[in-house]
Amino acid sequence: MLTLSTGAALWFLVATTPVAFVSAFNDLKRMKLPNALVLVLVAIYVISGPFVLSFEQYLWGFAHGVIMYGVGMFLFMFAGVGAGDGKFAAAMSMFIPLADAMPVLMIFCAFLLGAFTAHRILRAVPAIRRATPDWVSWGHNKFPMGLALAGTLITYFAIATFGA
């Protein structure tokens, strides 16, 4: 059972889904998660959080963001994770109560495996490569993790809103 309230999850689902889709597309096409998209996620949290979360949970979200930013930058420096991925994950973490961290990690693992497999299979299909010739991710050795991060964010809010 997730602890994020249904009302907050629904609001966050509606508000963040377009940002998540644009982020996934950007990462697939350019292998970049622009800071502007990360800042939009943060702005959604900062502006709407006080209206849909308890004050305590709202403040904890900032702590989650700061901690995850540090983790993300560590992974960028020492593990080859993209800086944009780390910043996007930090912005995502603001929305997630600590009690929901493990279910979110499980969702992320599933999306990471599924998105990686689908990406590697689809980039080998000539018709798809011809339809998207300017997508940098097709020829890159690294994986566009924004795809898995976006899927995780949307799925978490959907499950919290509508149930499993």
Percentage of residues in the chain with pLDDT exceeding 90? 98
Has residue 1 been placed in a domain?
no
Task: Grade residue 164 by pLDDT with cuts at 50, 70 and 90.
Answer: low
Give the model's pLDDT for residue 128.
Answer: 96
The domain total for the chain is: 1
Tell me if 62 is assigned to some domain.
yes
Q: How far apart are the first and last CA of the chain?
A: 9
Q: What is the pLDDT of residue 43?
A: 99
Asked if pLDDT for residue 82 goes beyond 90, the answer is: yes
Q: Are 84 and 33 in contact (CB under 8 A)?
A: yes
Instruction: Kindly report, residue by residue over 6-21, the tens digit of the pLDDT.
Output: 999 999 999 999 999 9
Q: What is the pLDDT of residue 1?
A: 82
Q: Which residue has the tokens 């010739």?
A: 133
Q: Which residues contact 108 (CB under 8 A, 6 or more apart)?
A: 148, 149, 152
Domain with 117 in it: 6-162
Q: What is the pLDDT of residues 94-138, one digit of tens each?
A: 999 999 999 999 999 999 999 999 999 999 999 999 999 999 999
Cα 79–82–87 angle (5° rounding)? 110
Whether residue 160 contacts residue 103, with contact meaning beta carbons closer than 8 Å, is answered with no
Task: Note whether residue 43 is domain-resident.
Answer: yes
